[in-house]
Amino acid sequence: GDHRDLHSFPTRRSSDLRTSPTVSPMRDVRLIGVGERYAAIVLQSGEVRTAGRALECGLRAVCDERGPEALVTEFTKVVSLERRARFEPVQALACGLRHCVAIGPTGSVFTWGDGAKGQLGARSSKQETSPCRVRALIGANAVGAAAAATFSAVVIEGGA
C-alpha cells in the first residue's frame, strides 16, 4: 500500500469493529500518542482512533470478542468515547505505557487501559476496556495531560 497512509496493511474485520477510511496524516491528524503496544490519534474533527493491543485501544467490543491482547491493525474510531463525552471533540491526548488519557473541550477527563497502579484516576486499580470519565475531576476544567508507565497527570485551568 501507499506508505503515506497510517494504515495500509491488511486486517481481519469484525462485525463489532468500526474501521475507517484511510487517514491522510498530513491533512487529518492533529495529535498523536504512542504507548508500549498501541498508538492513538486525534483527527482535526476531535475524533479519536486507536490501533494496537485492544486493551489500550479502548475498544471494549474487540476485548469482549477476541480478548484484551487482540491486535487491532487499523486505526479504529473509539466510539464509546464519543458517547461518554457527549460527542465533544477531544482537545488533548496523552498515552502512557499501557493507558490513555483524553480531554474534551469543556475540561472533562477520560481514561482507559491498564489501571494496575492507579494511573486511570479511578478508585480501583483494574483494567478499563473502554473510556471512563474520571469522577474526581468532574468540574475541574482540565486543559492538558501527561502520562507515563505508572501515572497520569492533568493540568487544571487556574493551576490547581
CA quadruple 93, 115, 131, 97: dihedral sign: positive
Highest mean pLDDT among 78-92, 116-130, 136-150 belongs to 136-150
Find the DSSP H helices in the chain.
Answer: 54-57, 60-66, 79-84
Residues 152, 96: contact at Cβ < 8 Å?
yes
d(CA 89, CA 104): 6
Question: Given a cut of 60, is residue 8 above it in pLDDT?
Answer: no
Residues 154, 101: contact at Cβ < 8 Å?
yes
Question: Given a cut of 50, is residue 18 above it in pLDDT?
Answer: no
Does this model's pTM top 0.85?
A: no
Question: Given a cut of 80, is residue 92 above it in pLDDT?
Answer: yes
Does 152 or 159 have the greater pLDDT score? 152
Confidence of residue 25 (pLDDT cuts 50, 70, 90): low
Q: Is 66 helix (H, G, I), strand (E, B) or coil?
A: helix
User: DSSP code of 98?
Assistant: S
What backbone torsions phi and psi does residue 66 show, to the nearest 5 degrees?
A: -120, -5
- Of 18-22, 61-65, 83-87, 136-140, which gets the smallest average pLDDT? 18-22
Average pLDDT over residues 93-101: 97
Average pLDDT over residues 75-96: 87
- pLDDT value, residue 26: 57
Question: Given a cut of 70, is residue 3 above it in pLDDT?
Answer: no
